[in-house]
Amino acid sequence: MSGHPDIRRVGIVGTGVIGASWAAFFLARGLDVSATDPAPGAEDRLRAAVDRHWPTLQRMGLAEGASPARLRFNASLEHALEGCDFVQESGPERADFKAELYARMDAATPPQVLLASSSSGLPVSGMQVRCEAPQRVVLGHPFNPPHLIPLVEVGGGEATAPEAIEGAMAFYAALGKRPIHVRREVLGHIANRLQAALWREAFHLVDQGVASVADIDTAIAHGPGLRWAVMGPFMNLHLSGGEGGMAHLLEHLGGPIESWWRDLGQPAMTPALKARVVQGVAEARGERREDALARSRDDLLIDLMRAKAGDGTLP
């Protein structure tokens, strides 16, 4: 499956961790990729990242014609975007930088080409303010790493056309992604806000001496995280209600849940707390290398995603 038939070449603007992962993914889906990044050595780092991701993508299954050889690089933004049918931007997370960058991308591409941002939290409205064709600027926020995780959050700004959002969602879905529509601009979009809520309480529990870093990771990875990897929080709550489902659960646990909400912490990122968490992670990691941990994580994720894809009952 190579995706939308009208999109054959994808422009990648910014080739850091996220941009390189996107590039590898689009190549694996049988598309041509034209990448750009002004940083010295960016092309070598990008090609090394693609080579590093390729065995994982091969295991997941490549589209017909997929090849790293279909990657081209040009340090010039304008030259790199020539002939591109879709642009995935993954530049620095700064509002002023994005506004200038989108003005340049807007000037360098025909108005029908969608410009999608990987921004993890910035609103689209600020990115499109200097564009001549702001209606085609959309959010296309992946979940890291994009070459592996299916989720993409799609949304628009004040000037984005509904057709642009529909087009972006159709494109990502055709590539095998699971796009969701962010219906209103909020900082952090959807998934990062949900993560932030959990992170806040995790840091609070460490700060208050309730649990160690390792214990909190164990609590999630060997508890609710296992269920969340199969179904989301609402459907898991529904199943927890037995035959009465969500209505029964809320009738009996709605009050206690509210009391837990009221007791949740609001920690501050003090130097002491940051040092405590960094030390806790180092102790939990031990002698294991980050690349080995990432490989094990990715291997298990592939097995899980394959199993989910083969199950026709999950929502």
> Residues 170-221: pLDDT tens digits?
999 999 999 999 999 999 999 999 999 999 999 999 999 999 999 999 999 9
Q: How confident is the model at residue 41 (pLDDT cuts 50, 70, 90)?
A: very high
How many other CB atoms are there within 10 angstroms of residue 68's CB atom?
A: 16
Q: How confident is the model at residue 315 (pLDDT cuts 50, 70, 90)?
A: confident
* CATH code 1.10.1040.10 region(s) in the chain: 191-309
* CATH code 3.40.50.720 region(s) in the chain: 9-182
**Contact indicator for 124, 160 with CB cutoff of 8 Å:** yes
Segment holding 53, helix H or strand E: helix 42-60
What is the rounded average pLDDT of the residues 115-128?
Answer: 96
pLDDT at 5 over 80: no
pTM: 0.93
111 prior amide bond cis, ω within 30: no
Is the CATH number of domain 191-309 2.160.20.10? Answer: no
Please state whether beta strands 114-117 and 137-142 pair in parallel, antiparallel, or not at all (unpaired): parallel
How many other CB atoms are there within 10 angstroms of residue 90's CB atom?
A: 27
> Residues 231-247: pLDDT tens digits?
999 999 999 999 999 99
How many other CB atoms are there within 10 angstroms of residue 281's CB atom?
A: 12
Distance CA(286)–CA(135), nearest Å, equals 50
Is the CATH number of domain 9-182 3.40.50.720? Answer: yes
What is the rounded average pLDDT of the residues 136-145?
Answer: 96
What is the rounded average pLDDT of the residues 30-37?
Answer: 98
